[in-house]
Structure 1
Amino acid sequence: MNNLRFGGSDVNQKLVLGHPSGLFILFFTEMWERFSYYGMRALFVLFLTSSLLDGGWGWPREHALALYGTYTSLVYLTPILGGFIADRFTGYKWAVIAGAIIMTAGHASMAIEIHPFFMYMGLFLLVAGNGFFKPNMTSIISEMYKDHEDKKDGAFTIYYMGVNAGAFLGIMLCGYIGEKVGWSWGFGLAGIFMFFGMLQFYLAQSIFGEIGNKPLKTKSSEVKVPEGDKLNPFTKLDLIFVAVCSLIGLVWIIDDPVSTISGFTIFNFEFAGYPGATVAIVLAVLLFFVLVVSRIIRYTPKVRDRMIAVAIFSFFTVFFWAAFEQAGGSMTIFARDYTNRLLTGNGAVIFDVFNTLLTVVPLGIITWVIAKLFQQTYGAYKGASAALATSFIIIWGIVIWMLVKELSNPETEVAASWFGILNSFFIISFAPLFSKIWESKYNPSASVKYALGLILLGIGFGALAFGASGIPTGAQTASVSMIWLILAYLFHTLGELCLSPVGLSYLSKLVPARMIGLMFGVYYLAIAIGNKVAGTMGSKIDALTEEYSLSFFFLIFLIVPAAGGVLMIILNPVMKKLMHGVR
């Protein structure tokens, strides 16, 4: 008997694994969205850079990675606007539905390869739809557990397992079908399951009751300010700075791939010998720095110190994601062009067994969760249940077809996109261990966690640098052992577990409650900048390989994060003082 009352309808009070049924509606909706996002991301650079004979577009790596960086950057910027629109106008539920429909259309457009227009239209729709979808799923969870904060951590743990399950399946299946069958089929598969995710959510949305409905227009209440704190409203000059920085930054993010691919640039000027694009982005960064400093010094000392700590964490977050997001760019190219992926004999048998278990066991567990959900919700939501069941019947069909096809071959060529699933696999494997450590007496400070994350990330690139050390300068192909990529993904994931989950957690503890929404936006801005830098740096792979070596290229991503990690360790005493007791 459930004595707890969660937000939402009466059906939502029926528990699955100790949590309200609605959490698992969100789990599977998010799983299919992540399936579509990571499935498309796994194929994007491979498709653009593959030769025309292989069905790709034969783009130079520099062009493909510049566009990749802009896309992944905008994916983290639009949720700031989408969250605002949902809060003020549409409500969370309709924002999620609209975002899912727009993304489904985006994937459909990506599947049409006959003209670049459809690709660019698809990217635009994916970015726009993500802005509505991404921030509002977690908002529904927060509202559902509003009166049970002690259960919220467990709820988000389950939710993020859905994120990783979707990423795992999306990379594996969209990647396999895209590389082995046809690019359009891979892009199209991503859209099919985005549609199923939308359909399931739409048909079951009433389970959330009043949560996420269109907000009522009420008179804004007075903001409560804790004793010793004070409000710091944006001045007209602040807003001008925000507008100028946003405009220049957005134009620069879009102009970068446009100028790289077409040669046309909006910043068609020079200043003191520097190109206009460089001048513009440096100006935007300087204005943003002035804005941040001018606002921080206006707070009371305690809030000011904590805001400085947030700014430092955000700064290092940029460097982490600039290196980590090589996974969808230069590391994917390394997997395709420089890694020996052909296995024969015992090697092929071992891989086939491992890959079969790696696929079937998680999918079996998720199917069991669906059965538990159906026990509670099937009678009330037959349409949503049918949509979810259909999607999993299709998934099992594709998985069985893939495994039979691979097991029947005497030799196995591992898909270049396959290595991307290792991140999700290692997260699922190691997340419980890290969670135990963070809850024990050995829980390190925030600065040490950031330092460990950056250093482990650097070690991963050290493995790639060592593995690539025998590749001649300027080589476009090679055949090194796949162990180096596996080690890289292992250390990158360990670094992610140290840094990524704790970032938003510490942010919510450090800033006043009235500013959490704004500062989440700032944190996502840092991730967006990191993603764009990742694309920009990754696009230099050919230039650096030709002038120095591929090993030198990866050494950059060893040195910069590792140096940042050492600096965070040095700053640890200072950061503790700035955080005023927050652990």
Structure 2
Amino acid sequence: MLSKEEIVKSVPQTGFFGQPKGLLSLFFTEFWERFSYYGMRAILIYYMYYEVTQGGLGLERSTANSIMAVYGSLVYMSGIIGGWIADRLFGTTRTVFYGGVLIMIGHIILAFPGGLTTLFLSMAFIIIGTGLLKTNISTIVGDLYSADDARRDSGFSLFYMGINMGAFVAPLIVGTIGLEYNFHLGFGLAAVGMAIGLVVFLTTKKKYLGLAGSYVPNPLSSEGKKKFFTRLAIGVVIIAALGFYLIQAGIMTIDVFTMTISILGILIPTLYFIVMYRSDKSTADEKSRLLAYIPLFVAAMMFWAIQEQGSNILAQYADERVDLTLGSFEISPAWFQSLNPLFIIALAPLFAWLWVKLGNRQPSTPRKFAYGLFFAGLSFVVMIFPAYFNGTDTLANPMWLVLSFFLVVLGELLLSPVGLSATTKLAPAAFAAQTMSLWFMTNASAQAINAQVVKLYKPETEIMYFGVIGAIAIGLGLILYVMTPLIQKYMRGIR
């Protein structure tokens, strides 16, 4: 296996804002991948519930919102599989490329008119492809730097800037084309975006990435690979046959499928915690830290349950409940999807500066999580005011939606990067990678639960929907705030 020194030496170490040249390749690959993903996501909910005469599929709004949540949940769940494939079979570079190809195929499928079957086939390709690409491309970024390289944090900051720039631009371009002209043209543009990302990756990786991501950390033997691919083929055939039978028999309906994912969203992380806690490989201190991690996990789930509704419930709200006219100019409802990455780009440097400035005086991890939940809850509470003051028969001022997105981003910057850091510190040594997968499961589980929750939203239940969910988040934040001393005790010296 290659040593860390060999890998770093193979990468040109200057050339992109003082960073390794490989960061240029990964920055633009991820920019275009996020462009394709968020572009497609910006119009997907509308494509599902718009009438057939408007170019959509004509699904019920509650069904469309539920499918959207399940889709997001499965995207995050698939990252666990992507990490294993990179570690055991292909290495991160090849896995990222294969993932990009599958994502592009998924978008191409949606670029052609089709029904619900076509939609689900496209989603399957994008889910698997994103699982292969998303987690592994970040691993390659880490390969560019030696362990003591002071540029590492700023390099990751630049990389995540690429993510948010792609997410910001996509709804403005793909959203406009998809809604103003044709949904399939919009999906086709998302495919073009991913194709550009793949071209950038292929043409620059040999020159700029060197040996980064080229190795397989824990490769399967030849015999192991044969067993894996044999079992995979058998499994795919069995699942396809069983799925076909259940669908034909009318047993596997959309509602049954979404409920199955919702149950898995709770079951998988529960099993994760049980296995790690009961393992002989976890020390007494590590088991204590796992107990401290549980309330943080629940808090993160609650946060993402609100944040991720920006792409379904708030997207529907933007389309049906907001006054989209500014004088003679009309706003596209898809443009609101650009607010989240825009606020992150603007505020992330401020938060990074704030934590450095405060140093040891900054709030502890549980307190930051509590503040994150307060802001998430407030982002939903403010959404009750348009209906409370003016009813649901009049269109709301778009600034209410802007305020909601702004508040949830404040919560995200308090909770998301802190959660990543806390996960690395609280993880048992023997389960470090799996605990990171568990952190990403907070989002998957949140969206799996959302698949049932979003069915409750209707304009007539608007005040109750936003008010109750917002109040639950604020209540959990208060509980977490009060529990902080106890959680700190179980964290055994980790702040």
Q: Could you state the TM-score of these two structures normalised by the residue count of structure 1?
A: 0.74
Aligned position for 1:564: 476
| Distance in 2 separating the partners of 1:267 and 1:331 | 26
| Residue of structure 1 equivalent to 2:216 | 215
Counterpart position of 1:357: none
Partner in structure 2 of residue 375 of structure 1? none
SS for the counterpart of 2:212 is coil
| Runs ≥4 residues deviating over 6 A | 216-220, 275-284
Q: Is the 8 A contact 2:8 2:146 kept in 1?
A: no
Query: CA distance change for structure 1 residues 17 and 312 in 2, over 3 Å: closer, same or farther?
Result: same
Q: Measure how far apart 1:210 and its partner are.
A: 1.6
Please give the alpha-carbon distance, in whole angstroms, between the structure 2 residues aligned to 1:194 and 1:277.
28
Q: Distance between the aligned counterparts of 1:535 and 1:284, measured in 2?
A: 10
Q: Does 1:460 align with 2:443?
A: no
Letter in 2 for 1:62: S
Residue 372 of structure 1 is matched in structure 2 by none
Contact 2:265 2:446 in 1 (8 A): no
* Residue type of the alignment partner of 2:176: Y
When residues 490 and 266 of structure 1 are mapped into structure 2, their CA distance, relative to the original with a 3 A threshold, is same
CA contact 1:423–1:493 (8 Å) conserved in 2: yes
Q: Which among 264, 283, 296 is matched to residue 277 of structure 2?
A: 296
For the residues of structure 2 that align with 1:313 and 1:10, how far apart are their CA atoms?
40
CA shift, 1:96, in A, is 0.8
What's the CA shift for 1:539? 2.3
1:427 equivalent in structure 2: 344
- The 1:276–1:78 alpha-carbon spacing in structure 2 relative to 1, beyond 3 Å, is closer
Supply the distance in 2 between the matched residues of 1:283 and 1:339 (Cα, whole angstroms). Answer: 35
1:515 aligned onto 2:436: no
* Structure 2 letter corresponding to 1:582: I
1:146 alignment partner, SS class: coil
Aligned partner of 2:115 in structure 1 is: 115
Residue 229 of structure 2 aligns with which residue? none
Among 275, 295, 299, which residue is 1:312 paired with? Answer: 295
Q: How far did residue 82 of structure 1 move?
A: 0.9
Letter in 2 for 1:208: L
Amino acid in the other structure paired with 2:346: S
Instruction: Call closer, same or farther: CA 1:300–1:279 in 2, change over 3 Å.
Output: same
> Is the 1:6–1:12 Cα contact (8 Å) retained in structure 2?
no
Counterpart of 1:527?
A: 443
CA separation of 1:112/1:471 partners in 2, compared to 1, >3 Å: closer, same or farther?
A: farther
**Where does residue 451 of structure 1 map in the other structure?**
370
Q: Does 1:18 align with 2:18?
A: yes
Work out the CA distance in 1 between the residues paired with 2:399 and 2:491.
41
Q: Which runs of 5+ in 1 are unaligned?
A: 221-246, 269-274, 345-410
**Match for 1:464: what amino acid?**
M
Residue 555 (str. 1) matches residue 472 (str. 2):
no
Corresponding position of 1:29: 29
* Deviation (angstroms), 1:38: 0.6
CA positional deviation for 1:465: 1.1
Contact 2:261 2:448 in 1 (8 A): no
After superposition, where does 1:66-465 map in structure 2 within 5 Å? 66-206=66-206, 207-215=208-216, 264-266=250-252, 285=266, 289=270, 292-293=273-274, 295-296=276-277, 299-344=282-327, 411-441=328-358, 442-465=361-384
Preserved contact between residue 99 and residue 131 of structure 1 (Cα < 8 Å): yes
Percent identical pairs in the alignment equals 29
For the 8 Å contact 2:266–2:445, the answer to whether it is kept is: no
Equivalent residues of 1:97, 1:133 under 8 A apart: yes
| Structure that is richer in helix per residue | 2
CA distance in 2, matches of 1:485, 1:277: 28
Paired position in structure 2 for 1:537: 453
SS in 1 for 2:329: strand
8 Å contact from structure 1 (residues 469, 550) kept in 2: no
Report how many residues are paired: 465
Q: CA 1:277 to 1:494, structure 2 compared with 1: closer, same or farther past 3 Å?
A: closer
* 1:569–1:195 distance in 2 versus 1, CA, 3 Å: same
- Return the letter of the residue paired with 1:467: P
Looking at structure 1, the residues matched to 400 and 475 of structure 2 have their Cα atoms a distance apart, in angstroms, of 22
Relative to structure 1, the CA distance from residue 511 to residue 286 in structure 2 (aligned partners, 3 Å threshold; closer, same or farther) is closer
Query: Would the alpha carbon gap of residues 138 and 286 (structure 1) be closer, same or farther in structure 2, given more than 3 Å must change?
Result: closer
Offset from partner CA, 1:362-386 (integer Å, 9 cap, x none): xxxxxxxxxxxxxxxxxxxxxxxxx
1:41 maps to 2:11: no
Answer yes or no: is the 8 Å Cα contact 2:304–2:447 preserved in 1. yes
Give the C-alpha shift of residue 167 in structure 1: 0.1
Task: Could you tell me which runs of 5 or more consecutive residues in structure 2 were left unpaired when the two chains were aligned.
Answer: 222-234
Contact 1:6/1:13, CA 8 A, preserved across alignment: no
Note the alpha carbon deviations across 1:241-278, whole angstroms, 9 max, x for none. xxxxxx9xxx9xx99xx99xx9944599xxxxxx9997
